[in-house]
Amino acid sequence: MTAIPYYVVDAFTDGPFTGNPAGVCPLDKWLPDDVLQKIAAENNLAETAFFAREGDAFRLRWFAPAAEVDLCGHATLAAAHVLYGELGERESPLRFLTRSGLLTVEQQAGRLELDLPQLPLVASETPRDLLEGLGARPAATFRGMDWVCLFEDESSVRNLSVNAAALIRLDLRGVLVTAPGKDADYVLRCFGPRVGIPEDPVTGSAQSMLAPYWAARLKKTSLIVRQLSARGGTLFCDVAGERVKVSGYARTYMRGTILPG
């Protein structure tokens, strides 16, 4: 099997050893799905992004260590960073064909701006496994692509110690916990043991649900977001119509080659 270029990109950061690392693999042609999944499991990053040119766009897929996922913001940003910064792509915006429809990324004032769809949230009772997994009762709970749990203050989010064995029993992709921020409009953490991610360092796709909620609550459309993981990261969100613009910095951490055969 042909060698595959491989990059690790730290997304939503401009400094070393912070942000969310994503694997990025440019492909000349698609490999079997089981090979893509094994590469993602071997890399063991929150997601590995695979892309191949398709006409005037790029087909983009994201694999967590345990499953393919429907939407991933940081790995999309990382793929755009590789195209612009490593492969010399000049097209702007970049167009990505994905499970979640057409996504675009363009360069804006030194940052990369990702255009995502808004995703709905529906108020819900808090499942027993969610209460057990968080070890705390949220002020409100919603269902969307993930479970979303609202807390009253930043310290409640920061100090959570979760039980992954309980969270993995839940039916959705992951669990988001969020609260008003002290030096940001809102903060969050993201847990995804169901797809092999105990805690995601910085979660771009979460803003598809959280940014519209906080924009309505705070009565503002431009938001600064902090993710309170151990690595930490910063996102800049703008809610516009039915879309959410999520921007941040990215930097290449590693360049290499995968030898799968």
Catalytic residues: 47
Phi-psi sector, 28: left (phi>0), alpha (psi -120 to 50), beta: alpha
Distance CA 1, CA 259 (A): 8
Distance CA 261, CA 76 (A): 26
Count the helix, strand and coil residues of the chain and give each as a percent rounded to the nearest 5.
Answer: 20, 40, 40
Kindly give the pairing relationship between strand 243-248 and strand 111-117.
antiparallel
φ, ψ dihedrals at 210, nearest 5°: -75, -40
φ, ψ dihedrals at 136, nearest 5°: -160, 150
